Structure 1
Amino acid sequence: MITDFEEYIRQSEPHKREKGYAWQTAIGLQAVDGLKTSDYLRETARQHIEGDITIEEVKQLVNSYYESKTARKGVGNRTEEADKVSARITELLSEQSFTFSPLEYISIHRRLFEGIYEHAGKIRDYNITKKEWVLNGETVLYAGADSIRETLDYDFAREKEYDYKHHDIAEAVSHISKFVSDLWQIHPFGEGNTRTTAVFTIKYLRTFGFDISNETFANYSWYFRNALVRANYNNMPKGVFATTQYLEAFFRNLILGEQNELKNRLLHIEAPKHLVQSASLEVPKSHNDTLDCTLEEVALIKFVKEKPQATQKEIAVHIGKSERTVKRMTTRLSERGIIERKNGKRNGYWEIKSKELNN
C-alpha cells in the first residue's frame, strides 16, 4: 500500500490533500511497469505538498539530481524514469484543462516521456507482443501498426456518441470499462501505454465531476493493468475468454466507493475457479439507490456529501454543468428521496436521505 503522503490525505487542508492524492497516484502508477521512485523524489514531493516549491521546481530539481555523477552511480535508469514521470503525472493531474480526443491522449504520452523515450508522443510503426504473468507468459493481441490511427479515431468517435445521461451508473461503469480496455488494447506507443491510459482516464472521469486521483489507482495500479490484460485476452481451447468484470470491480471501487476484492492472483488464468467465483463482483441490494443514478448524479451526491452547504452555483462549477442543469438534477434527486435541502437558501444544507449513500 502507498502510505508516503497519508498524513496529508487524511488530515491536511484541501490544497495539501489534493497534492498528496496526486503524488500518491503518480508514484503508485509506476508499479504498472515494475518501477519504484527514489527517496529523493519522495522528499522533494513533500516540499511541493507543503508549498515550499512549485511543481516546475520539482522537475528542475529532479533533472539536476540525475545530472550529478553521484546520482548516476547510485540509481538505475528506470528509477530516474519513475521519478521524472511521477513529477510529470502530478503536474498533469493538477491541471484543469482537458480535451477528449486522440490528440490529447497522444499529448499526454509525449509530456510524460519526453526525453525518456525517443518515441514519446509518436505512434508505433511496428507490431508488438508482451509476455504477461497473468497469462502464463502469453500475450494480448494488440492493434496492428497499420491500423492504430484509424482504430483510435473510431473508438473516440464511438465514445462521444454515448450519452451517459440516459444510462444508470451500472451501465455507465460497464461502458467506461469497455472504452478504457479497448483504448489500452490499441497500445499505440512502444512503452508507457498503461500509465498514459491511466492519466487520460482520470482526467476524463473528472469531466463528470469526480475527483479521481485517489487510493484506488495508487494502490491497485498493477491490478488495473492485469484487469486490462484480462479484458483483451481469449484462449478458447483453455476456456479463457475476454472479460471486463475485473476492470468493472476496479471502477466500481473508484467511482462508487465499493469494496470489491482486488487481488492480482485471482486474475491469473490458472487461478482456482472456486476462489475466483467467491470473489466475483456482486452488486449488493443496498446499492440500489446508487445504481439508479447516472454518473453525473453520483458525482453531485458525492460532492454535497462532502460539502453539505454547497450552493447550486458551487455544485455547477464542481461537476462542470450549468446551474440550470444542476437545478434539474437536484430536483430529480429530491423527488426520488435521495437528497433533501434543509433550512432554506441562506443557511441551508444538503442532507443525503438514502442510508446506503450516507455510509
Structure 2
Amino acid sequence: MNEFEDYRRATEPSARERGYLWQTAIGLQAVDALETSDYLRETARQHIEGAISIAEVKQRIDSYYESKSTRRTVEDRTEEADKVSARITEILSEPSFRFSPVEYITIHRRLFEGIYPHAGKIRDYNITKKEWVLDGQSVLYTGADNIRETLEHDFERERSYDYKAHNLNEAIAHIAKFTSDLWQIHPFGEGNTRTTAVFMIKYLHTFGFDIDNETFAAHSWYFRNALVRANYNNIPKGIFATTEYLERFFRQLILGEAHELKNRFLHVAAASQSANEAAPKRNNSTLSCTLEELALLNFIKEKPNATQKEMAAHIGKSERTIKTMTVKLATEGIIERKNGRRNGYWIITKELNNKINTDS
C-alpha cells in the first residue's frame, strides 16, 4: 500500500483522490486475505496519473485474465482481488448513492459479477464461518428465511434515526451498531464484508464528510474482526458482543482520532491489559457537536470563504438549515465571522481547529 503514498501529497486533486480510492480498494482485499497482482498495481498507477480511465483499467484486467498464460488456478484468488479492487475504485468514484437494500445488493452484484455465481443474489442456505478472532468459533448469522425481512427492518430503523438529536458519541455508537447489524445479516454467500465497507463509505459521504479512507485501506482486517466481535456471545466464557472495537475504527475514520487498531486486542483470548492499552482517546471538545455540524466544520476548515449556498450543497441541507447551524456554532464560540458579511470568511477557534483535522 505504501507505493501509492506519494499520491497523497500530489498537487493535482484528481490524482490525490484516485490514489485514496485505490488504497482503499486494494486494502479491502485483506478482509479475505487476498493480494493484488503487480499488473493491477501498475495499471492502477496509470489510472491515478490520468493516463487511462477506470473503464480502460477494467478492460485491461479482464483481458489480462482471459489469457491462458496468465490465468490463475482456482486456489489462487489474485484474479478476484484485481477485478474487485478495480470495481471498488469505480463505485467509490461515482457520486450517486441511494440508501436502500436494493443499493446494498446492487453493490454486491457489481463487485462480484462473473466471479461468484451468486453475485447480487440473497443466499438461500444457512452458514457458519470459523473465525480466527473467536478461536475457530462462528458468529450466529441471520437465517436464510429471514434475510430480506431483516434487511428491510434494519434499513427502516436507520432511516428513522435522527442524527441531529444526538451528539457525536451517540451518533458514532449508532453507526457502529447499524454497520454490525447489517453485516451480521450476511445476505450473500461470500463478499459481505467488502460490500458492507463500500456501502458504508458511500453512506458516510452523504453526511458531507470528505473521509480519509486510509483507515479502511490500512485496517480492513481489523474492521472485519471488529464486526465479528460485535456479533458474538459466549456467556459461559464471559464473552459478550460489543461494538467498542468498531466504534474505535469509526472514530478514527470520521474524527481523525488516533487508536491502536491492532487485531490482537480483538482476539477472545486477549489479555485485558491489551484492551486497556487500546482505550479510546476522545476529543472532548467536539462531543457536543452533531455529525452534521462536524461535517460543516470540516468544510469550513477547507473552504473558509464558502457561501451558505456552497455549504448547503456540500452538506446536503437547505441554506436555512446552514444558517441555523452557523448561528449556533458562532454562539457557542466554535466559529467566528471575519471581515463582514459580503467579503468575509469563517475561522474556527484555535483550540477546536486542532481537534477536527480529519487528515490526522
CA-atom RMSD, angstroms?
1.5
Deviation of residue 76 (structure 1)?
6.1
Distance 2:167 2:115 in 1: 42
Show CA shifts across 1:8-50 (max 9, x none). Answer: 1123321111111111100100000000111111111111111
Deviation per residue, 1:300-350 (Å, 9 max, x gap): 111111222222222222111222211111111111111112123444222
Match in the other structure for 1:11: 10
Query: Which residue number in structure 1 is paired with residue 306 of structure 2?
Result: 310
Change (3 A) 1:235 1:75: closer
2-side partners of 1:8 and 1:254: how far apart? 19
Given that residues 202 and 213 in structure 1 are in contact (C-alpha distance below 8 angstroms), is that contact kept between their aligned partners in structure 2?
no
- 1:215-234 equivalent positions in 2, closer than 5 A: 215-234=214-233
C-alpha distance in structure 1 between counterparts of 2:73 and 2:127, whole Å: 32
Q: Does the alignment pair 1:263 with 2:231?
A: no
Q: 1:343 and 2:342 equivalent?
A: no
Q: Counterpart in 2 of 1:321?
A: 317
* 2:31 maps to amino acid: V
> Could you tell me how far apart the structure 2 residues matched to 1:274 and 1:72 are?
47
Q: Write the letter of the residue equivalent to 1:173.
A: I
For the structure 1 residues 213 and 189, does the alpha-carbon distance in structure 2 shift closer, same or farther, using more than 3 Å as the test? farther
Amino acid of the residue matched to residue 177 of structure 1? A
Q: Which residue of 2 aligns with 1:251?
A: 250
What's the CA shift for 1:282? 4.5
| Runs (5+) with no aligned partner, structure 1 | none
Give the alignment partner of residue 329 of structure 2, picking from 327, 333, 336. Answer: 333
The answer as to whether partners of 1:289 and 1:354 remain within 8 angstroms in 2 is no
TM, length-normalised to structure 2: 0.95
Alignment partner, residue 274 of structure 1: 273
CA deviations on 1:66-109 (whole Å, 9 max, x unpaired) are 11122116996410000100000001001111111111100000
Counterpart of 1:24 in structure 2 is 23
Aligned length, in residue pairs: 355
Q: Distance in 1 between matches of 2:95 and 2:72?
A: 38
- Cα pair 1:101 1:156 within 8 Å, conserved: yes
Q: Is the Cα contact below 8 Å between 1:22 and 1:213 reproduced in 2?
A: no
Q: Partners in 1 of 2:170 and 2:29 — Cα distance?
A: 30
Q: Distance in 1 between matches of 2:220 and 2:72?
A: 29
Runs of 4+ in 1 over 6 A off after TM superposition: none
Secondary structure of 2:353's partner? coil
Report the Cα distance in structure 2 between the residues aligned to 1:73 and 1:334, rounded to whole angstroms: 59
Q: Which amino acid aligns with 1:299?
A: A
Deviations along 1:151-208, one digit per CA (max 9) or x if unpaired, are: 0011001111101011111100000000000000000000000000000000000110
| Residue identity in the other structure for 1:297 | E
Q: Distance in 2 between matches of 1:265 and 1:214?
A: 22
